[in-house]
Amino acid sequence: MLFKNEYKALLFEAQGNSRDYAILLTFLKSGIRESELAALEIEDIDFVHDTLRVREGKGKKERTIPLMPELKRALQRYVGDRDRQANIVDDETLFLARNGTSLNPSSIRKLVRKYYKKAGVRKSGVHTLRHTFSAHNVNNGMPIADLQKVLGHKKKETTLKYIHAVNTSLRETMLKTQA
């Protein structure tokens, strides 16, 4: 899990690149998985209803995630820049490489690691951003059941693993009530 100053440092380093900033913010504000981000298409963003649709989730289960204002702005900025990209090959894909093709999970991992290094953050990895999303939302009062839906988990126990670093006693209490 990243502390607030660490994830702010990541975003600071990426602010000059609308795509990279939008990618990092999508991880931090939606909690989606690396493979889910790679599979996102333009039509998965609904700027009118402020939602992000994840169609290629684990277990092929579709879910809808609320689009937070900061993420909405970042995605709108990126989509505007993307529309001006001359060499688009994969029209439907949301996040494109410089050559106009879709970003693959390996490229996404490399991109994220680059910003960890630039920001001087020791922890690295895309999955850390998912844990960060989970921990900060629970810390700010999000009910576990809601977090479970957003993350796309079938079992509450899986979601509880994501919040262990935040509040061990909350986790223990919830496990006791699951008997």
Of 58, 61, 110, 117, the catalytic one is 58
Q: Does 29 participate in catalysis according to the annotation?
A: no
| H or E element in which residue 38 lies | helix 34-39
Q: Does 58 participate in catalysis according to the annotation?
A: yes
DSSP state of 163: T
DSSP string, 73-84: HHHHHHHHHHHT
Of 130, 131, 136, 171, the catalytic one is 130
Q: Does 153 participate in catalysis according to the annotation?
A: yes
Contacts of 4 (CB under 8 A, 6+ apart): 136
Of 63, 77, 109, 127, the catalytic one is 127
CA 117/CA 13 separation, integer angstroms: 10
Contact 10, 24 (CB under 8 A): yes
Q: Does 55 participate in catalysis according to the annotation?
A: no
Of 33, 72, 131, 171, the catalytic one is 33
Of 29, 131, 162, 171, the catalytic one is 162
Residue 30 to residues 51, 89, 120, 133, 177, Cα–Cα distance (Å): 10, 26, 23, 7, 28
Give the active site residues. Answer: 33, 58, 127, 130, 153, 162
